[in-house]
């Protein structure tokens, strides 16, 4: 399955962005993870059907109501790109701490 890495900038930390992202990913039947980055961005890796990934990307541009997204960077990720998170079960979407 295709995998994409997203980096979301703007007011995206402290507004429930990771939790809303997980809910959206689960609704779209995507697997992967989402995490805050030290620089204030949010990073996500999502795997699933191309159409669902496109809907996920479109949603990231708005996020939850309390967020203000200024940019979403997207790049293709290798299928095994969870290597930094060895306890991630690829059958679900997790929030990384």
Render pLDDT for 22-58 as a digit per residue (tens, 0 to 9): 999 999 999 999 999 999 999 999 999 999 999 999 9
Catalytic residue among 5, 11, 36, 55: 36
Gap between the Cα atoms of 17 and 65, Å rounded? 9
Determine whether 36 is an active site residue: yes
Catalytic residue among 18, 22, 47, 94: 18
Average pLDDT, rounded, for the chain: 90
Determine whether 47 is an active site residue: no
Per-residue pLDDT at 85: 45
């Amino acid at each position: 399955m295709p995998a994409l890495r997203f980096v979301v900038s703007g007011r995206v930390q402290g507004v429930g962005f990771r939790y809303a992202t997980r809910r959206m990913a689960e609704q779209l039947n995507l697997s992967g993870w989402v995490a805050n980055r030290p620089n204030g961005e949010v990073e996500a890796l999502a795997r699933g059907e191309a159409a669902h990934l496109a809907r996920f990307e479109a949603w990231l541009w708005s996020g939850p109501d309390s967020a203000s997204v200024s940019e979403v960077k997207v790049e293709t990720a290798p299928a095994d790109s969870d290597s930094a998170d060895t306890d991630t079960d690829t059958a679900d979407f997790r929030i990384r701490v």
